């Protein structure tokens, strides 16, 4: 079973132009607060990045 965190990560990774938490509410049927918490955890784990109010896929560095 896929967790909400995995679903949010996949959703953000398939939106390279960035996505806001409010844009995830309808597709997931979850509250903005819950989605924001999940996105914040992904950000803290370094799995995504945030620019202003939108979340973006993590840019891979080739070092």
Residue 41 maps to a domain: yes
pLDDT higher than 70, residue 62: no
d(CA 19, CA 15): 7
How would you write 37-51 as a 3-class SS string?
HHHHHHHHCCCEEEE
Residue 23 maps to a domain: yes
Residue 63 maps to a domain: no
Residue 56 · residue 20 · CB < 8 Å: no
Per-chain mean pLDDT for the chain: 94
Q: Tell me the per-residue pLDDT of 16-44, one tens digit each, with 9 for 90 and over.
A: 999 999 999 999 999 999 999 999 999 99
pLDDT higher than 70, residue 7: yes
Taking the model in full, what pTM does it have? 0.89
Domain that holds residue 52: 4-57
Mean pLDDT value of segment 42-59: 95
Angle subtended by helix axes 4-13 and 32-44, to nearest 10: 80
Q: 49: domain CATH number?
A: 1.10.10.10
Residues with Cβ within 8 Å of residue 30, at least 6 apart in sequence: 4, 24
pLDDT at 22: 96
């Amino acid at each position: 079973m896929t967790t909400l965190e995995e679903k949010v990560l996949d959703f953000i990774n398939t939106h390279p132009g960035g996505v806001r938490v409010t844009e995830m509410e309808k597709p997931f049927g979850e509250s903005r607060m819950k989605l924001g918490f999940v996105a914040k955890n992904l950000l803290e784990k370094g799995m995504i990045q945030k620019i202003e109010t939108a979340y973006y896929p993590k840019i891979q560095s080739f070092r």
